[in-house]
Amino acid sequence: MSRGGDSASLTVASLTVASLAVASLTVASLIGGCGFRLVGSVPLPPSLAVVQIDASDTQSDFYFGLRKSLLASGTRIDEDNKDDSAAVIHITTDNAAERILTVSTLNVPTEYELTYMLKFSVSSEGHELIAPEEHRLVRDYSYSESALLAKEREKSILSEALANDLVSVVMRRLSSLSGRSSAAH
């Protein structure tokens, strides 16, 4: 009697696994069919299949974010600058700056403004695909001497968030080249 019960529970378990597999495949095909993409994976035109990043600061939050987004989009990054057909993303300005917005009665800063500025252009085989563009994002944050370490961390997080927002702007601009890139050559 025990053996028959085991057989029935195995049949139920295999039916449950099969049902889950069918349900998973159905959900995956529905999600894929509606145009769902992972965050950060922006479809780029074929002219951007291989890119070089021309930047003086290769350690910035923006540079790392751009590399990550390009790779997630299936773009190959030509590190050695050996591929003449590679599009070149020129990063001419990539910096963050802060300035004091308000001070207390004791002349101690209580609020800062963080500005992240980016200027870039894109060229391919001698043709300008995107003319130089400047983008600037600004955020305010409060400051307290009693929470110095926390406020420094907050500044770092804000700077990284601004850089990531600028990466999204650049990736949207790159993806908009799909219709124009073939006409440029």
Do 61 and 80 belong together in one domain?
yes
State residue 24's pLDDT score.
60
Q: Are residues 77 and 137 in the same domain?
A: yes
Q: Give residue 184's pLDDT.
A: 43
Which structural domain, as residue segments, surrounds residue 157? 42-184
Q: How high is the pLDDT of residue 83?
A: 85
Residues 109 and 80 in one domain: yes
pTM listed for this prediction: 0.72
**CATH at 156:** 3.30.160.150
> What Å distances lie between residue 13 and 2, 27, 35, 69, CA to CA?
17, 21, 34, 41
- Regarding whether 107 and 32 lie in a shared domain, the answer is no
Pairwise CA distance, residues 158 & 45, whole Å:
31
Report the domain count for the chain.
Answer: 2
Partnered with residue 35 across adjacent β-strands are none
Same domain, 60 and 125: yes
Whether residue 69 sits in one domain with residue 108: yes
- The pLDDT value given to residue 181: 42
State the pLDDT at residue 112: 92
Two tokens at 119?
A: 């200027």
Going residue by residue through the chain (185 aa), what tens digit of pLDDT does each one get?
555 556 555 555 555 655 655 556 555 555 555 544 455 467 888 889 999 999 999 999 999 999 999 999 999 999 888 888 899 999 999 999 999 999 999 998 989 999 999 999 999 988 999 999 999 999 998 888 888 888 889 999 999 999 999 999 999 999 998 654 444 44
Check whether residue 130 and residue 57 sit in a common domain: yes
Q: Based on the fold, state whether residues 84 and 100 are members of the same structural domain.
A: yes
Whole-angstrom CA distances from 103 to 110, 144, 148, 154, 159 are 5, 11, 16, 19, 22
- Considering the domain architecture, whether residues 29 and 59 belong to the same structural domain is answered as no
Cβ atoms of 106 and 77 within 8 Å: the answer is no
